[in-house]
Structure 1
């Protein structure tokens, strides 16, 4: 930290030199975690990957359509307060209380005039209550659309290099962030995977890969291990360690939700794809233990913040813990799950999307609330070249076709 404080923030060369030096530092003494990055090494840590379960055609169609709608609505619910360094749990609660909207069960309301000390994100004209008219553009929506396109084109032959080529050709640089932007720049400079994930990429265990896993779970509905394995090809372009596990876990969680009796079962199954001695596995087990002990969601949220609040607001581990808690304490209700994860702070739109996806699969299409789904009007914006204005129903239909026929 001292070295960083001594550098002029405008001296880019010195900053990059520090990043390079940090990359060579050893782990601290007493490091107790085992967090490999290579897929074979990850597999070697797993006692037994989860088995596949059959999903009926009717359930597949219903739940895939629910998942796309649930993910996109959940993302939009979280967008106005997506900035965890400003929108803390306390600030979100205070704002919603002033708006007579606590606990959150709808899109975030707009207060006019805005009270001092509060500032909604710039997306608020499209994402606040009464102003949603189709889905706003968001990377949490761009990546699922891109994944669907890539799986249609390449199936099981997907590789990190193929994903990278798609980013360069379809994604504007300024619409990718943190680890993804670092990997993108590395590709521009001629790096190839796995160096794209490691060179000058201090964000490589942040949440960016975790938000990209859902469509693998849709396509491999009921087969968490296949979903996790193929998602690795996507995650390893930009992430290592817990960053990769985050996407594998999210893909497995979504896939498991298609056949699980409840959220706890889906979460327990999804843990089977996460290295058991990793920090991500430790955090998820921690939340499961809290749920088993009978404490409230509010008490759990306080413990999650106490244990993982030192991480960046866009890190994998703390956000995954918030996702797990919101699903476990929702009692199967979509609106409760999404509202609680947004009220948890940190990366609210990403977590709203992930929770929205899983909670919608568990609930089914008919149980989704009209006040959140109807304003989407079956369409979404996207920064991907050629995919703006996509019909949500078309994305779901294509996903069902792909899941039904299987991947080559």
Structure 2
């Protein structure tokens, strides 16, 4: 039913998803067990789950429509003034692209089960610490080492199959990664369509530029569902496209509040630099192709933070601006506020990630809420320091490359390229491989230049 799991596993994940959405799911695990592998019976359980309504004691207000979201958000600076000259702006765009690449590359080798889920009764962050200690590189001051005595001693290993080019002893460029491909696609969308695009256009672009092997979880299911829809529709976008998109993001997609949309927003946020409301809206259009509720809010929250970071240096204020673009009474807002309180009360990096892990480990390792909370905590802990920010985000575990990339993007935009530590930037050699036509390879500075040009075009 998806790339990796069958219908039975999808229904099992749907039980968790419906519980998180406030529905009463007592008895559904037993119904799933009774259904065995019978597809008809499994679908009966699935449809029963999807028919549930949130319990009356579920007090969160979590719409998925843009205007409904805006009606529930707090006051915020929808458009931020600035007096940067062109050279400063360009430096900030280059900083954002470099920061995203550096944070992503640091976390990419650690996107493996031992570090995302934990193992041996150890949380994921502890295994990351053991890996760097076993390589004689603790505390983290450079890219992830490819070898560590922790592999044999603790039976943990990095993602060898997909990330050796990002390890500290090998790194010469930013290797291909979904976090970077989506940044490229956001840039391409704004270059091709400007502000004139919707969620249907997102699906069409994915089908032009991405293979099925390059999409995962919610993106994979929406990609597949969109193919089913478009196979029956010829010609232009149908008038009822929104109904088709909603079906595509919902049907057999228990991953619709996971992190996928959150990692796709940077290209749009760069176009909306200094304009958090616009950045959040563009993120909403993209996220709505595959996600609902908190999955959408994570995208809007991060997009608004990135846009704000181009003109704001106070990390606490950047987070507040991000929160001002999502419903004030949603699960994500509550989780972010808790993460900020923990970070403000905790000075030690290891103690911080331990507290964040314990507070949010009930979520799946690639859920939106726990990873967004970790990013917020890492930003607070960083105090604006780039290395401190990306290393804290990655040390926390879960979706390591995504979180390093998001925090790196925010701090890179805030600080600018010239202020970023050469120890993190020089190994990239200003080179990106994205596995997208025209961007494999390409200089990171060229991507930044094109994002800046899009930003200027949108402004005018």
1:301-357 Cα deviation digits (max 9, x unpaired): 333222211111000000001101111111221111111111100000000100110
- Which segment drifts farther, 335-344 or 302-311? 302-311
Question: Judging changes above 3 Å, is the alpha-carbon distance between structure 1 residues 301 and 5 closer, same or farther for their aligned structure 2 residues?
Answer: farther
List gaps (5 residues or longer) in structure 1: none
Aligned partner of 2:132 in structure 1 is 96
1:105-156 Cα deviation digits (max 9, x unpaired): 2111122674251111022321111201211110000000011000111111
Deviation at 1:244, TM superposition (A): 0.4
Aligned partner of 2:101 in structure 1 is 72
1:49-108 Cα deviation digits (max 9, x unpaired): 423123422321111000001101110100111131247111111111111222212111
- Which segment drifts farther, 17-26 or 125-134? 17-26
Deviation at 1:15, TM superposition (A): 4.8
Distance 2:370 2:262 in 1: 12
- TM-score normalised per structure 2: 0.84
Does residue 22 in structure 1 map to residue 20 in structure 2?
Answer: no
Deviation at 1:297, TM superposition (A): 4.0
CA contact (8 A) 1:77 1:342 kept: yes
Aligned partner of 1:141 in structure 2 is 180
Deviation at 1:12, TM superposition (A): 5.8
Partner SS state of residue 131, structure 1: coil
Question: Judging changes above 3 Å, is the alpha-carbon distance between structure 1 residues 30 and 361 closer, same or farther for their aligned structure 2 residues?
Answer: same
Distance 2:183 2:273 in 1: 15
Distance 1:5 1:318 in 2: 29
Does residue 4 in structure 1 map to residue 32 in structure 2?
Answer: yes
Distance 1:194 1:157 in 2: 20
Task: Report matched runs for 1:288-327 at 5 Å.
Answer: 288-293=340-345, 296-327=348-379
Distance 1:377 1:331 in 2: 27
Deviation at 1:241, TM superposition (A): 0.1
Say which of 152, 167, 173 aligns to 1:115: 152
Aligned partner of 2:89 in structure 1 is 60
Deviation at 1:182, TM superposition (A): 0.7
Deviation at 1:363, TM superposition (A): 2.1
Deviation at 1:6, TM superposition (A): 4.2
CA contact (8 A) 2:103 2:390 kept: yes
CA contact (8 A) 2:353 2:392 kept: no
Aligned partner of 1:33 in structure 2 is 60
CA contact (8 A) 2:257 2:292 kept: yes
Distance 1:64 1:132 in 2: 23
Aligned partner of 2:217 in structure 1 is 178
Task: Report matched runs for 1:361-400 at 5 Å.
Answer: 361-400=413-452
Distance 2:47 2:81 in 1: 47
CA contact (8 A) 1:258 1:361 kept: yes
Deviation at 1:268, TM superposition (A): 1.0
Distance 1:219 1:73 in 2: 20
Distance 1:345 1:112 in 2: 17
Deviation at 1:407, TM superposition (A): 5.9
RMSD (Å), alpha carbons: 1.9
CA contact (8 A) 2:269 2:307 kept: yes
Aligned partner of 2:17 in structure 1 is none
In the comparison of the two structures, how many residue pairs are matched? 407
CA contact (8 A) 1:64 1:361 kept: yes
Distance 2:34 2:171 in 1: 46
CA contact (8 A) 2:74 2:325 kept: no
Distance 2:45 2:171 in 1: 44
CA contact (8 A) 1:248 1:273 kept: yes
1:280-305 Cα deviation digits (max 9, x unpaired): 10011112223444554444333322
- TM-score normalised per structure 1: 0.94
Does residue 159 in structure 1 map to residue 231 in structure 2?
Answer: no
Deviation at 1:231, TM superposition (A): 1.4
Deviation at 1:360, TM superposition (A): 1.2
Does residue 85 in structure 1 map to residue 117 in structure 2?
Answer: yes
Deviation at 1:261, TM superposition (A): 2.8
Q: Which segments of structure 1 move beyond 6 Å, counting only runs of 4 or more?
A: none
CA contact (8 A) 1:231 1:251 kept: yes
